[in-house]
Homo-oligomer: A and B are copies of this chain.
Amino acid sequence: MKDKGITVTKEKDMPEWYSQVALKSKLADYSRVKGTMVIRPYGFAVWQKIQDEFNKLIAKNNVENAYFPLFIPESFFKKEAEHAKGFSPEVAWIEKKTKDKERIAIRPTSETIMYDSYSRWIRSWRDLPLKINQWCNVVRWEVSDVKLFLRSREFLWQEGHCVYETEKECETETLHYLNLYKKISKDLLAVPALVGKKTEKEKFAGAKTTYGIETFTEEGKALQLATSHNLGQSFAKGFNIKFKGRDDKTHLPWQNSWGFSTRLIGALIMTHSDNKGLVLPPTIAPNQIVIIPILKKDSQNEVLKKARQLKSKLKKYRVLLDDNTSYSSGWKFNEYELRGVPLRLEIGPKDIKKKQVVIARRDNGKKESIKESQLLKTIDKTLNNIQVELFRKASKFLEASIINVETWNDFKKVSKDKKLIKASFCGRPSCEEEIKFKTSGITSRLELLNEKKPKGKCINCDKLANQKVIFGKTY
């Protein structure tokens, strides 16, 4: 019983706390296979909810789901030089058998295998835009120490890959998907995110521009949630994707790709959970409400009957009634707190007499008795309020974590705190490399959009600054 709950505090040992929350809430488990993890049914229910919502959003924009092979021939990687260079250290290869001619990789991402097909499917402007998404597993072999949901050799994700007639349409849509990510993160996970552009050094291998959304954790690290890449025409060149335009001439199309992964679940855990365990926002929680009947010998039947009535009244929510008689109510309270169920309803013989129900919030622990006649209204309001409060609290934390610095000395000083640093930057990869080296590991996270171009010099060198960039440690 003792080690059922979380045995360390977030403040004392955040990595251990995180891992215990993910494990003990039964979202995930380690596997005995190096570098891999298991997504347990409770965690997969969260993922399916994310999938359902995202599928609806992209369907509105005429994106269709499809499935492309897990395997990529070595020669495909070489068709886009930057892309090959970027991914080669991470790739897992299949042992060659006698009959195999070429070395075959397991997809780390699917640009190459998809665009090979695209080159045969696209002939005319009438075939554009082509908008395809796939949900699949991808592999980055270099990972060996697993951090549940945040870092593993294999993970699940979606990757959207679109092709357009014009540069403008491509850029507009690249930003559209970025906004969908921000929406999912806010509306579903109640996780606030910074939105911006990756620096030259940090952008996706082969992209013209990479946009991303990131959040920040109490561990003092930035956490990338999703990216959306404007690929320009370089893959079209590499894979020979051409179309006959409205002018009857042959053109290269414009492409983007965009993705998020099960890492979102890691951000969800990090952002809201506490020393009692997981905290889930109502919109994403597999069970929004748990009903716990307070069972005593002489009133058991009456209470169970009432609990079932309650459940049937709450059909618009995802409700779990735990009527198991072999565990105590106290045991159940702990269990569902550990598993992050947003709202607990308690109903006992005394409550029945008083025509009331006790409701307890997971997020702030507040508990009150509600008249039965007011129950539906109160639940509605409370679930809403939990969602809003979780986002508000997390947003406040994120905002307070960004420290504006003007001098290199301040940069150095703040880089030792658990903070994000906002500074003027020249944009050069070599300068960024230098910053990373001089600070033991600080990298650029995002160039903020919609900010005024800074005046004056880069935070680290003598060149003129041309962007405001958020720097920080990352996972």
Interface residues of A (CB under 8 A from B): 29, 31-41, 43-45, 47-48, 64-73, 92-97, 99-101, 104, 106, 113, 116-117, 120-121, 126, 132, 136-137, 139, 141, 144, 153-154, 156, 326
Q: Report Cα–Cα, A196/B72, bound state, in Å.
A: 39
Among B38, B40, B106, B117, which residue has its beta carbon within 8 angstroms of that of A69?
A: B38
Find chain B residues with CB under 8 A from A65 CB.
41, 44-45, 48
The answer on a CB contact under 8 Å between A71 and B41 is: no
The answer on a CB contact under 8 Å between A64 and B38 is: no
The answer on a CB contact under 8 Å between B64 and A41 is: yes
Given A33-B113, A73-B33: A66 and B41 interface contact (C-beta under 8 Å): yes
The answer on a CB contact under 8 Å between B144 and A31 is: no
Find chain B residues with CB under 8 A from A69 CB.
31, 33, 36-38, 154
| A112 smallest CB distance to B (angstroms) | 10
Most interface-central of A31, A45, A73, A93 (chain B CB within 10 A): A31
Other than the given A36-B71, A39-B67, 10 more pairs (CB < 8 A) read: A33-B71, A37-B69, A39-B66, A41-B65, A67-B156, A69-B154, A92-B94, A92-B95, A94-B94, A126-B326
Most interface-central of A29, A69, A72, A101 (chain B CB within 10 A): A69
Find chain B residues with CB under 8 A from A45 CB.
64-65
| A456 smallest CB distance to B (angstroms) | 46
Among B68, B154, B156, B326, which residue has its beta carbon within 8 angstroms of that of A31?
A: B68
The answer on a CB contact under 8 Å between A31 and B113 is: yes
Find chain B residues with CB under 8 A from A33 CB.
69, 71-73, 104, 113
The answer on a CB contact under 8 Å between B31 and A153 is: no
| A350 smallest CB distance to B (angstroms) | 29
Given A48-B65, A64-B44, A137-B136: A32 and B116 interface contact (C-beta under 8 Å): yes
The answer on a CB contact under 8 Å between A144 and B99 is: yes
Find chain B residues with CB under 8 A from A43 CB.
66
Closest to A126 in B: B326
Q: Report Cα–Cα, A35/B43, bound state, in Å.
A: 33
Q: Report Cα–Cα, A69/B153, bound state, in Å.
A: 9
Find chain B residues with CB under 8 A from A132 CB.
41
| A95 smallest CB distance to B (angstroms) | 4
Among B70, B72, B139, B141, which residue has its beta carbon within 8 angstroms of that of A97?
A: B141
Q: Report Cα–Cα, A386/B444, bound state, in Å.
A: 60
Q: Report Cα–Cα, A113/B45, bound state, in Å.
A: 20
Q: Report Cα–Cα, A73/B65, bound state, in Å.
A: 32
Closest 9 CB pairs of A and B: A41-B64, A36-B69, A39-B67, A93-B95, A41-B66, A44-B66, A33-B71, A44-B65, A70-B154
Among B34, B66, B139, which residue has its beta carbon within 8 angstroms of that of A40?
A: B66
Q: Report Cα–Cα, A106/B95, bound state, in Å.
A: 11
Q: List 13 A-B contacts (CB under 8 A).
A: A31-B113, A33-B69, A33-B73, A36-B71, A38-B68, A39-B67, A39-B68, A70-B137, A71-B154, A94-B95, A95-B95, A106-B106, A126-B326
Q: Report Cα–Cα, A73/B34, bound state, in Å.
A: 9
Find chain B residues with CB under 8 A from A31 CB.
68-69, 113, 116-117
| A169 smallest CB distance to B (angstroms) | 19
Find chain B residues with CB under 8 A from A48 CB.
65
Closest to A36 in B: B69
Closest to A93 in B: B95
Q: Report Cα–Cα, A72/B35, bound state, in Å.
A: 12
Given A65-B44, A95-B95: A70 and B139 interface contact (C-beta under 8 Å): yes
Among B44, B66, B71, B101, which residue has its beta carbon within 8 angstroms of that of A153?
A: B71
| A389 smallest CB distance to B (angstroms) | 30
Closest to A117 in B: B38
Q: Report Cα–Cα, A144/B48, bound state, in Å.
A: 33
Find chain B residues with CB under 8 A from A37 CB.
69
Find chain B residues with CB under 8 A from A121 CB.
29
Find chain B residues with CB under 8 A from A101 CB.
34
Find chain B residues with CB under 8 A from A38 CB.
66-69, 117
Find chain B residues with CB under 8 A from A47 CB.
67
Find chain B residues with CB under 8 A from A95 CB.
92-96
| A397 smallest CB distance to B (angstroms) | 30
Find chain B residues with CB under 8 A from A71 CB.
33, 35-36, 153-154
Q: Report Cα–Cα, A255/B36, bound state, in Å.
A: 24
Find chain B residues with CB under 8 A from A117 CB.
29, 31, 38
